[in-house]
Structure 1
Amino acid sequence: MPRLFWKFFSIIWLTMAVTVGAIILLVNIIEGAPFAREREEGRRMIVLDLTADMLVRDGAAAASHFVGINAETLPPGLTISKTENADACAGSKTADARLVPAEGVCYRISLPVQPTFTMENIGPFIPWFTILVASTISAWALARYLIRPVVHLRDGLSALAHGRFDFRIGDKMAGRKDEVTALAYDFDASAARLQELQDAQQRLFHDVSHELRSPLSRLQAAVGVLRQSPAKLGSMLDRMDREVERLDTLVGEVLTLARLTAGSSLPLKTQTVDVIELLNEILGDAAFEAQAREVSITTSVDGIFRAEVEGELIYRALENVVRNAVKHTAEHSHISVSCEAMADRLTIGVADQGPGVGRDELERIFQPFSRGRDAVSRGGYGLGLAITRQAIERHGGRVHASLPAAGGLAITLELPRRPTPYGAGGDES
């Protein structure tokens, strides 16, 4: 049973239990104590009888003197008066008066009932008042318990709406351990993710601007040289062609990465492809390019692995990893490529003998425009591994980097035979 339900159940049950207990206690107190009205009535009868006896025994003057000297202690309103009707003394006594014949005259001793406020007057209303107070307290506690986290959530959503992705509400749920607290921590996780995406977007804008500025600056420099020395037209045009080609390559990679990121929820356009055969084609082209640096590459990987993939994306992913290894491996070294085909998954490993990266950079190199701190610039824009991870993960696979004991950098790709929901591959190991 959810914890929030049990909290509500406990609060309501305890409230009712306390209410019933308080009612029973108050009823017992009221019933056990002598009633004020009966006590007052008995006192009044005693005073009336005592005054009447004194009037009969000692006379009217003594009774009046008794009333006068005890006015402060006797109940207020005690009076002695003569009646005009002598036959009135024949009547019976009442609760607030006595008719007494004395000295041949009929006297009336009266002591009217004074209105008093006693527990007996409010006794019938005490249980209802107790229930009202207890209900009010419990309703206030429940409302406060429920509304406070809702207010925090509203403040958090308002902050997100105004672009404040650093706003957190989990620390404001101190003492709570229920579904509302879980919702608050989910909100914090969402806000943190939005903040990461915003930071990544800002960093991407900055990096793209920086990478575009360099070839544009060289183009501007070439135009300036041409204006000063028209005779250098041929060489400047060649330089301008190279810079335009660099710009085209950069824009193409940025568009590819943007398409992968924006289309992560779109279905893949898959076809059946032998991934190992595709890898051998890429290795053949890369081996030809690596001859200039006297770098050898494993050029043949055995086996067949037919998979339902989007061929263009997988080709870009594999090519980026292999070409990245060719760029950064040391001269006169070797690049090893391995494949392990299983029933439903293909694992590809590419290891070079370059300078590698720091252990704290193993994840950062998969971010756009990211390179190792000690990496030697050999062209490229730091987008290849970012595109590779996006492409493989879109198929439900995984990509990770490691540092071999012999040095260099190893990239491992895990590709399922059939695409799985985006991001689900990260749960498999």
Structure 2
Amino acid sequence: MPRLFWKFFVTIWLTLATTVAVIILMVYLFQIPPPAEQEHQERTVILNLTANVLTRDGEDAAERFVRTSEDTVPVGLTLLKTTDAGACSDENTTDTKSVLKDGFCYHISVTGHASVVLDYLALSMPWIAIFISSTISAAALARYLIRPVVHLRDGLSALAHGRFDVRIGNEMAGRRDEVTALAHDFDSTAARLQELQDAQQRLFHDVSHELRSPLSRLQAVVGVLRQSPGKLGVMLDRMDREVERLDALVGEVLTLARLTAKSTAPLKTQTLDVIDLLNEILSDAAFEAQARNISITRSVDGVFPAEVEGELIYRALENIVRNAVKYTADQSRISVLCETTADILKIRVVDQGPGVVRDELERIFQPFARGSDAGPRGGYGLGLAIARQAVERHGGRVFASLPDTGGLAITLELPRRPTSQGPSGDQSSNRTS
């Protein structure tokens, strides 16, 4: 990074210095002569003026002129009188002038300036000022340009080392430019990576926890068999149930993993009537719900042909309906309502179960999450997570709400054709209660 700073610094400094130097040089070339020539001209003018006053008005007038001149602008002007007329034959110089008048020789002289160096220094002051101001300006501007780059480098280095909690947006010191926008994009990326890392760790933890229970029961069955081989038939049935649970869990995890991994892959769509698909799922669910005296009332009419990936939408609808059947109270009712517009199908499934607290409306769509009041109903808490992933891949959305009559309502909105996938965190602002 220091090399980049010096590149910026030298480029800016040369630009500033050259520009200002050219301007000042042009001003001096057209208006101000060099110091030596200017001083020579001034001496010549003073000597000639004094000589003219002496010749025209006499000695007294010349002496008064000398005194007045010295009082006004001291230049070392002197007037000396000698009776040797031959002394006036000496050649005049830039500092002296001899005048013969009334038989006397007058020597007019101007003391040489001892401040020639100061004059040159005064002339060079603009150039010194250019150098100093250009250096300060170039350093400040280069630092202004480089500082956000340094923050970005540090942030990317932190991400490379697995530290996703680093944020650099607050380090921009009130800037409002493209670099600041880039810094905020970096913060969004880091936050998303941190969210994915937390989700991955939570998923590993939850999968491990869910696998441990059936494995522990299998170990217990093996222990019982070793002690009581006569219970082989009963224990084999129990082992079959535990293996089926393991198989179901692994299948759910793999489905969720495939949905997550292929979130940007193109869908393999075909034209299906989603309402017809929903009616098929509701018929199967109603048959299973009879065992608990649960009725399913439906207001599902018409058709809604849509370009969808059939397997994903079937899983989403089935998981939502079965979730309602699982958690609704015995001898209760589940209502299913469909509303269609030109391009959107809206399906609302309402149960009469314990529901969830309002703060958990979003959490129940996370893997292995269940409502705190749901109770032990089986399952692994993956159904709603899979449903949301499947629908969002089509550009739709799934969200939960709390009906006034109690229970839980799950609403699914599916477009007729897949659209750009929206962020999963945008659902909360559009929930109804």
> Is residue 158 of structure 1 aligned with residue 157 of structure 2?
yes
**Alpha-carbon distance in structure 2 between the residues aligned to 1:357 and 1:150:** 47
- Separation (CA, whole Å) in 2 of partners of 1:91 and 1:346: 117
* Distance in 2 between residues matched to 1:126 and 1:336, nearest whole Å: 89
Q: How many residues align?
A: 372
Task: Quote the residue 2:349 is aligned against.
Answer: 350
SS in 1 for 2:222: helix
Matches within 5 A, 1:38-117: 91-92=90-91, 94=93, 116-117=115-116
Residues 244, 414 of structure 1: alpha-carbon distance in 2 compared, 3 angstrom cutoff: same
Residues 407-426 of structure 1: pairs in structure 2 closer than 5 A: 407-423=406-422
CA distance in 2, matches of 1:226, 1:362: 44
C-alpha displacement of 1:422: 2.2
Classify the secondary structure of the residue corresponding to 1:177.
coil
Bigger shift: 412-421 or 120-129? Answer: 120-129
* Structure 1 pair 96–369 and aligned structure 2 pair: CA distance change class (3 A): same
Tell me which residue corresponds to 2:362: 363
Deviations 1:292-324 (A, max 9, x none): 111111267221111111111111101101110
Which residue of structure 2 aligns with residue 106 of structure 1? none
- Alignment of 1:326 with 2:325, yes or no, is yes
Q: Deviation digits for residues 25-48 of structure 1, max 9, x if unmatched?
A: x98xx98xx999679979xx9xxx
- Structure 2 portions without partners, runs of 5+: 1-11, 48-75, 77-85, 99-108
Alpha-carbon separation, structure 2, partners of 1:235 and 1:111 = 131
Tell me what 1:246 maps to.
245
Distance 2:348 2:91 in 1: 121
**What is the rounded CA distance, in whole Å, between the counterparts of 1:92 and 1:184 in structure 2?**
79
1:240-284: per-residue Cα shift (whole Å, max 9, x none)? 000000000000000000000000111111111111111111111
- What TM-score results when the alignment is normalised by the length of structure 2? 0.75
1:79: which partner in 2?
none
Provide the rounded CA distance (Å) in 2 between the counterparts of 1:113 and 1:413: 100
Q: Deviations over 1:368-402 (max 9, x none)?
A: 00001111111100000000000001011111100
- 8 Å Cα contact 2:337-2:349 kept in structure 1: yes
What is the aligned partner in structure 2 of residue 182 from structure 1? 181
1:120 and 2:105 equivalent?
no
* CA RMSD across the alignment: 4.0
For the residues of structure 2 that align with 1:282 and 1:256, how far apart are their CA atoms? 19
- The equivalent residue for 2:256 is 257
Amino acid at match of 1:389: R
Q: Which amino acid aligns with 2:403?
A: P
Residue in 2 that maps onto 1:220: 219
In structure 2, the residue matched to 1:304 is: 303
Cα pair 2:392 2:422 within 8 Å, conserved: yes
Structure 2 residue aligned with 1:340: 339
- Secondary structure of 2:367's aligned partner: coil
Q: Give the Cα separation in 2 of the matches to 1:302 and 1:114.
A: 109
Task: Determine the C-alpha separation between the residues in 1 that align with 2:116 and 2:260.
Answer: 80
- Residue 343 and residue 97 in structure 1: after superposition, are their counterparts in 2 closer, same or farther (change >3 A)? closer
Q: With structure 1 as the length reference, what TM-score do the two structures score? A: 0.76
- C-alpha distance in structure 2 between counterparts of 1:240 and 1:407, whole Å: 39
Question: C-alpha separation between the residues in 2 aligned to 1:92 and 1:174?
Answer: 73
- Structure 1: gaps spanning 5 or more residues: 1-10, 46-74, 76-86, 100-109
Q: Displacement, 1:92? A: 3.6
Mean Cα deviation higher: 415-424 or 158-167 = 415-424
Look up the SS of the partner of 2:300 in the other structure. coil
Q: Distance in 2 between matches of 1:419 and 1:265?
A: 12
Structure 1: distance between partners of 2:246 and 2:325: 22
CA contact (8 A) 1:309 1:395 kept: yes
Per-residue CA deviation, residues 58-79 of structure 1 (Å, 9 max, x unaligned), is xxxxxxxxxxxxxxxxx9xxxx
- Between 1:245-254 and 1:341-350, the stretch displaced more is 341-350
Shift of 1:289: 1.1
Displacement after TM superposition at 1:178 (Å): 1.8
Match of 2:210 in 1: 211
CA contact (8 A) 1:328 1:352 kept: yes
- Report the secondary structure of 1:298's partner residue: strand
Map of 2:140 onto structure 1 = 141
